[in-house]
A and B are shown apart, each in its own frame.
Chain A
Amino acid sequence: MSLIKTEELVHDYIRRDEEGNEDGRIRAVDGVSLNVNRGEFIAILGSNGSGKSTLAKHLNAILFPTEGSVWVDGKNTMDPDEIWDIRETAGMVFQNPDNQIIAQVVEEDVGFGPENMGIPTKEIWERVEESLKAVGMWEYRKASPGRLSGGQKQRVSIAGVIAMHPKCIILDEPTAMLDPSGRREVIRAARALNDVEKVTIILITHYMDEVIYADRVFVMDKGRVALKGTPVEVFKHVEELKALHLDVPQVTLLAYELRKRGLDIPDGILHMEELIEVLEKICR
């Protein structure tokens, strides 16, 4: 069942001079139509300036379409009465963990969303407990966010969104500012939410290795969807991805290069174990 749908979505950033006249126009998203089903894990890939973050901000009514339309759980984001409902349905985690934690104690920050929604005190506590446990940050509930690592802060941000009980979580480059272990923590938490709680996840990233777990991948370039499909399907297009300044996971690249040299290796290898298995067969 469809949860998020965009139809021919166009977004222009308009620069205005002092009098408010249009001075310049940059088209960030150019006719994107996509459809996200309930419970899916979607990845949106793209290099800098490909429009992926702009697209993300449309999905919970932070930005509004210049042309086309966005539907979240059957509600049009252009309808001013539905904005808060949409933001409760689709939660968003941003890139910089420092700039999205509001409170000075972890548990209070997680409670911020439910407080805004007008949830009764007792239920806020239940939600805070369950969401901090879901991301494995329950022991840190009394800590000050300043003392946490980047990955931990980002998990707190995710917990803050989960506490609002959204149907969908949009993660806008949540790992861009983290070290490798922090990245692993965050991606593991996102996958667990998708597997266990069946929350729809839309992960926006430019790291290839985060994409291989997705159900479907959209690759964006210059505001358009350049490639789409399952990770296996998308990573078959090694040359196209390279042309878009995107890397392919190392294993896939190795398999691709070996095949080019004439080894009998199938398309779409994403995991190291798969390649090892194939190579073992060949060597025998």
Chain B
Amino acid sequence: MLKDITLGQYYQTDSILHRSDPRVKLTGTLIYIVVLFVAQNIWGYALAAVFLAVMIALSKVPVKFMLKGMRSIAFLITLTVVFNLFMTPGEVIWSFYKLKITAEGLKMAARMAIRLIFLIMGSNIMTLTTTPGELTDGLESLLSPFKVFHAPVHEIAMMMSIALRFIPILMEETDKIMKAQMARGASFDEGNIIERAKSLVPLLVPLFVSAFRRASDLALAMEARCYRGGDKRTRMKPLRYKVSDYVAYGVLIMLLAASIALRICL
């Protein structure tokens, strides 16, 4: 149950996107999100769709694999669509009791659904083609200007990468504790919501205790290996832009310009 979360997973293969600099991919995702919200008409969405399709093709990640990740957010999309469909005021085209569907609502719902799906697929491409390590390195480097304001950029990046490293370990541990409690008669999937929430207490307490113990062990191990914060640290894999990364930046700027132009001119 806990193991089939594909959202935010790395898919190992060799493609242009896999090889490109994580900073480009992070900024690219950001620009893509902006493009999605700039788009107002069909041409704006068409541009976003074409860009997304090209990226999927370049990433060499099977489309099937990507769609599997979408399943977990299907509920969210349905909810958004339903709300927009029935809650938007305007010209009524169909009504049943108090439920009314308006032309504006229909348009809005379609727009929101497309935006959400594109947005999630777009950021999915980034996480599928970037290892968590690269991702945190990229974030650290992109956020490094904030160090001027004494923002703990290195620490945040280190925390992220450690959290990512320990997610599978803690998942496994949860599974183990669950089975241990079940063997002693606990049940986690019976009763109403309150009863279920209560049944999680004997699961969460040992999990937290063990997480704290692990954290203290890890801190000790890091200190024993001379970890003393980000200053004076060198990099085993320093980030370096290649020519292709500059080209990618150029493409991204053109994408942004095109989407703004489409909104203004059409």
Question: Which residues of chain A have a CB within 8 Å of any CB of chain B?
Answer: 60, 62, 84, 87-88, 91-92, 94, 96, 98-105, 107-108, 111-121, 124-125, 128, 145-146, 160-161, 164
A108-B236, A115-B234, A118-B232 known; A98 and B225 CB under 8 Å? Answer: no
Taking chain A's interface residues, is the majority helix, strand, or loop, or is none over half, making it mixed?
helix
A interface footprint on B222-238 (CB within 8 Å = 1, 0 otherwise): 11111110001111111
Taken together as a complex, chains A and B put the C-alpha atoms of A164 and B225 apart, in Å, by 8
Contact A111 B236 (CB under 8 A): yes
Q: 23 A-B contacts, Cβ less than 8 Å apart?
A: A84-B226, A87-B224, A87-B225, A92-B221, A99-B214, A99-B217, A99-B218, A100-B218, A102-B218, A104-B131, A104-B132, A104-B161, A105-B133, A107-B236, A108-B133, A108-B237, A116-B225, A116-B226, A117-B226, A119-B234, A128-B236, A145-B165, A146-B168
B224 contacts across to A, CB distance below 8 A: 60, 62, 87, 91-92, 94
B161 contacts across to A, CB distance below 8 A: 102-104
Contact A112 B131 (CB under 8 A): no
B220 within 8 A of A: yes
Apart from A98-B169, A99-B221, A112-B227, what are 16 other A-B pairs with CB-CB below 8 Å? Answer: A62-B224, A84-B228, A87-B224, A91-B224, A98-B214, A99-B214, A102-B221, A104-B165, A105-B131, A108-B133, A116-B226, A116-B228, A116-B233, A117-B226, A119-B234, A164-B225
Taking chain B's interface residues, is the majority helix, strand, or loop, or is none over half, making it mixed?
helix
CB distance from B33 to the nearest CB of A (A): 26
B223 contacts across to A, CB distance below 8 A: 62, 87
Taken together as a complex, chains A and B put the C-alpha atoms of A113 and B217 apart, in Å, by 16
Contact A115 B217 (CB under 8 A): no
Residue of A108, A116, A120, A125 with most chain B CB atoms under a 10 A cut-off: A116
B261 within 8 A of A: no
Contact A115 B220 (CB under 8 A): no
B16 within 8 A of A: no
Contact B133 A124 (CB under 8 A): no
CB distance from B66 to the nearest CB of A (A): 21
B162 within 8 A of A: yes
A120-B234, A121-B235 known; A94 and B221 CB under 8 Å? Answer: yes
Taken together as a complex, chains A and B put the C-alpha atoms of A84 and B224 apart, in Å, by 9
A161 contacts across to B, CB distance below 8 A: 225
Chain B residue with minimal CB distance to A85?
Answer: B226
Q: Which 7 A-B residue pairs are closest in the complex by CB-CB distance?
A: A111-B236, A100-B221, A99-B217, A116-B226, A113-B225, A92-B224, A124-B236
From 100 to 127 in chain B, residues with beta carbon under 8 angstroms from any chain A beta carbon are none
A160 contacts across to B, CB distance below 8 A: 225
Residue of B164, B214, B222, B224 with most chain A CB atoms under a 10 A cut-off: B224
A92 contacts across to B, CB distance below 8 A: 221, 224
Taken together as a complex, chains A and B put the C-alpha atoms of A39 and B168 apart, in Å, by 39
CB distance from B200 to the nearest CB of A (A): 24
Chain B residue with minimal CB distance to A127?
Answer: B236
Taken together as a complex, chains A and B put the C-alpha atoms of A84 and B223 apart, in Å, by 9
CB distance from B5 to the nearest CB of A (A): 15
A111-B236, A112-B227, A116-B228 known; A103 and B221 CB under 8 Å? Answer: no
A interface footprint on B249-264 (CB within 8 Å = 1, 0 otherwise): 0000000000000000
B226 contacts across to A, CB distance below 8 A: 84, 87-88, 113, 116-117, 164
CB distance from B18 to the nearest CB of A (A): 13
Contact A115 B132 (CB under 8 A): no
Taken together as a complex, chains A and B put the C-alpha atoms of A104 and B137 apart, in Å, by 13
Chain B residue with minimal CB distance to A120?
Answer: B234
CB distance from B184 to the nearest CB of A (A): 24
Chain A residue with minimal CB distance to B220?
Answer: A62
B217 contacts across to A, CB distance below 8 A: 94, 96, 99-100
A92-B224, A99-B218 known; A114 and B165 CB under 8 Å? Answer: no
Contact B222 A118 (CB under 8 A): no
B162 contacts across to A, CB distance below 8 A: 102
A62 contacts across to B, CB distance below 8 A: 220, 223-224
From B164, B165, B227, B234, A124 is in contact (CB under 8 Å) with B234
Taken together as a complex, chains A and B put the C-alpha atoms of A200 and B128 apart, in Å, by 44
Contact B233 A125 (CB under 8 A): no
A112 contacts across to B, CB distance below 8 A: 222, 225, 227
A104-B164, A164-B225, A164-B226 known; A121 and B218 CB under 8 Å? Answer: no
